Amino acid sequence: MQGTPTLEDVARVAGVSRATVSRVINGIRNVAPDIQETVQQAIATTGYVPNRAARSLVTRRTGSVALVVSGAGGDVGGEPFESQVFADPFFGRVAGGAVAFLRPRGIHPVLMFAETAHARDQVIGYLRQGSADGALLVSTHGEDPLPRLIVEAGLPAVLWARPARPTPISYVDLSHRAGAELAADRLVARGCRRVATISGPFDVRASQDRLSGFQDAMARYGHPYIPGVEGNFTHDSGEAGMHRLLAEHPDIDGVFAANDLMAQGALLALREHGRAVPDDVAVIGFDDSSAATACRPQLTTVRQPMEDMAGEMARLLLAHIEDPDFQVTSVIFPPALVVRQSA
């Protein structure tokens, strides 16, 4: 085949009409799945590259979505917001799950940050002018106004985690209370009697749910008071929190940290105090991120299936883009306890 591949070349290789190839490329739904696959294979074989500008005129779509990491705060402890995001393995798993779902469908995410009012205005403007077809929104702060702003602008979007305030937006979340209960069950089963917790930020709903779920579960086991400190989901806050707990409650024999990075920091503090894990102090994290297996001992943790959750976010977003009347909905995933060496 010589020259630039054309629609006719793809149609000839696929054994279908030019119109069928056009429908597949433009994402029109009335094409059988086996024919879509045949056309996609023919596109790969011929090296045909669709004219995105022409396609956009037909579909009024860009073939991209915004992956927005948003918060109402900004820099924490002098560390730029972007650095915080890339340092946390949570965000990498969310992005990976979204890309794994979108890429085979010819849709690509554009990463955007929205930690300030100006940045939020940029995101809204980007979406309003049609530079992306919708937004996957990962909000890191309970007071983040971006979910409300996107809804008020009438833009397709799906949120990671239940919104802090009632907002008519589709979201995907985990049963955080149930996950914290699994951690409590494990510590009690090990015989821990003097248990403490390092929570996430109090203004984040997931932190609230994990904390209250853990406290309630421990109360059912006859432990009405659980010492705790507030962290901010970082390694350093977990380390500092563990130092404080040991200073105030030196007889601790079990710790639940609200994410794996804080649990990893807690392990370091325990090591500095000469406490063996899990013999002296058992430690459980949350997320089952890469941090859980990057430390020694490896972390027992509560797993949230982030890739699956991000893929479901992407699926819901495409449904909203395809059908503006698609009903706002929520999908809640179950947690699971992953037992390793720390508890």
Any idea where the domains of the chain sit in the sequence?
Answer: 7-50, 64-173+307-332, 176-303
Token pair of 277 as six digits: 């894990």
Q: Which CATH architecture has domain 64-173+307-332?
A: 3-Layer(aba) Sandwich (3.40)
Nearest to 104 by CA among 314, 308, 331: 314
106 CB burial (10 A radius; 0-12, 13-18, 19+): middle
- Please check whether the domain covering 7-50 is classified as CATH 1.10.260.40: yes
CA 279 – CA 319 distance, rounded (Å): 50
pLDDT tens column, 39-80: 888 888 888 776 554 554 444 556 789 999 886 554 445 556
76-124 confidence digits (pLDDT tens): 455 565 666 666 777 888 889 999 988 888 888 889 888 888 888 898 8
pTM: 0.76
In angstroms, what CA-CA distances link 30 with 33, 102, 342?
A: 9, 20, 53
Is it true that 7-50 and 176-303 share their CATH fold? Answer: no
Q: Distances from the Cα of 305 to the Cαs of 6, 103, 144, 243, 281, in angstroms? A: 42, 19, 24, 30, 27
Tokens of 214: 């853990």
Domain 176-303 has CATH 3.40.50.970: no
pLDDT at 174 over 70: yes
Percent pLDDT > 70 in the chain is 88
CA distance 232 to 270: 19
Q: Which amino acid is at 327?
A: Q
Helices and strands in the chain: count of H runs, count of E runs: 13, 12
pLDDT in tens, 230-286: 998 899 999 999 999 999 999 999 999 999 999 999 999 999 999 999 999 999 999
Cα(82)–Cα(86) distance, integer angstroms: 6
